[in-house]
Amino acid sequence: MTAEQPRPISIRDDSIRLGQLLKLASLAEDGFHAKELIENGMVQVNGEIETRRGRQLKIDDVIALADESVIVTSE
């Protein structure tokens, strides 16, 4: 996948925390790995570096890590 075509990740509710989404999208192995990625400034939300693991993501938010990106969609 390229940054221009984010992979859709469906969620059940209206929002999801960034750390949870990284695990759901298989971008992080576990919560500790997600925390490290976020704290080290490796994760972008809608084009801006995000350092808060608890950041609430909404439908249509785009999350990028290295050369992968995902977009939050509803189920």
pLDDT band at 2 (very low <50, low <70, confident <90, very high): very low
Topology, domain 7-74 = 3.10.290
The overall pTM is greater than 0.85:
yes
* CA 47 vs CA 18, 35, 68, 70: distances in Å: 14, 19, 13, 12
Residue 3 has pLDDT above 50, yes or no: no
Cα first-last separation, the chain: 21
Residue 4 has pLDDT above 80, yes or no: no
